[in-house]
Chains A and B, each alone.
Chain A
Amino acid sequence: MNPLTQCLLVSGALFGIGLAAILVRRNAIMALLGLELMLNAGSLNFIAFWRFRPDAEPMGGVVFVLFALAIAAAEAAVGLALIVAIYRHFHSTNLDEMDRLKG
């Protein structure tokens, strides 16, 4: 198995694991961790295609992954702040109990 295929398979497995965590876990923080895992799987894809590219953009993959890292950090900050705010209201981080929009 060549390295590109191996990287892509690892990335696909990580994506699936993250998706399973989002769909199955009821704790909001665990769902957020699953989301982080899916973002990292995407980044691994970019790095793999950049490394084994035929002849493409010289810096494209690396720069895109750096941007993705920054977006992931922003998303984590806002998501965790939302979880804290919701916890203050519902006294729970269980996603099933957050079933009202009314404050």
Chain B
Amino acid sequence: MQSDFFTLVCWGVMAAAAIAMMMRRPVHAVLVFVVSLVGLAVIYLQLRAEFVAFAQILISVGAVAILVVFTLLLTRNGGAEAELKRTAGSAIVGLAMAGLVMGCIGICVLASSAVETSGAVTPATVRQIGEALMTQYILPLEVLGLLLTAALMGAVILAMDPARRHNERKP
């Protein structure tokens, strides 16, 4: 399965992520970020995790990216940020820190003796995933449902207009 295509996709994902984070306008950054997420889904497909790949496209690309775009529309000063004037020094420090972390991870990975046994791997079918979720991971699944409900209610309350919230309390 190790092919030139896989390597190409890997480079594409990294390049798209780097370009997205360097874009001046956040709208363009989100659009390039979506390319990176789709590339990650292709990597998951290559690694035989099909369900995760489609879930990634549905959730990350379909929901989260669109949510970010809507937030950009709501907070409309989304033009070029005047950010590099005052913070050039701290930006260099930040880049150096990130480069240090990246280098440490790379050295650790290259120096490790992680054995690879790509023998008889059975791809995870949707049926198997569903059975695992309903038997072994039932408690985490329930907790996750609770968390999502709480998060959505919290998001609505946070984003609600404070004046209107006040009026609705005292009609």
User: What are 15 contact pairs spanning A and B, CB under 8 A?
Assistant: A2-B2, A3-B6, A10-B10, A12-B102, A14-B17, A15-B102, A18-B17, A27-B81, A40-B40, A54-B117, A61-B49, A71-B144, A84-B74, A84-B158, A88-B162
Closest 6 CB pairs of A and B: A16-B102, A23-B94, A20-B98, A12-B105, A74-B151, A81-B155
Report how many residues on chain B are interfacial, defined by Cβ distance under 8 Å.
85
B99 touches A80 (CB 8 A): no
B121 touches A51 (CB 8 A): yes
What's the least CB distance linking A70 to chain B, in Å? 5
Q: A65-B52, A69-B56, A78-B158 are in contact. Are A94 and B64 (CB under 8 A)?
A: no
Q: A23-B95, A27-B26, A78-B155 are in contact. Are A32 and B144 (CB under 8 A)?
A: no
Interchain CB contact (< 8 A) of B128 among A59, A67, A71: A59
What total count of A-B pairs have CB within 8 Å? 232
What are the residues of chain B within 8 A of A29 when measuring CB–CB?
A: 26, 68, 71-72, 75, 78
B77 on the interface (CB 8 Å rule)? yes
B interface vs A, CB < 8 Å?
A: 1-2, 6-7, 10, 13-14, 17-18, 20-21, 26, 29-30, 33, 36-37, 40, 43-44, 47-49, 51-52, 55-56, 59-60, 63-64, 67-68, 70-72, 74-75, 77-78, 81, 83, 86-87, 90-91, 93-95, 97-99, 101-102, 105-106, 109-110, 114-118, 121-122, 124, 128-129, 132-133, 136-137, 140, 144, 147-148, 151-152, 154-156, 158-159, 161-162
Instruction: Give the interface SS of chain A, mostly helix, strand, loop or mixed.
Output: helix
A24 touches B95 (CB 8 A): yes
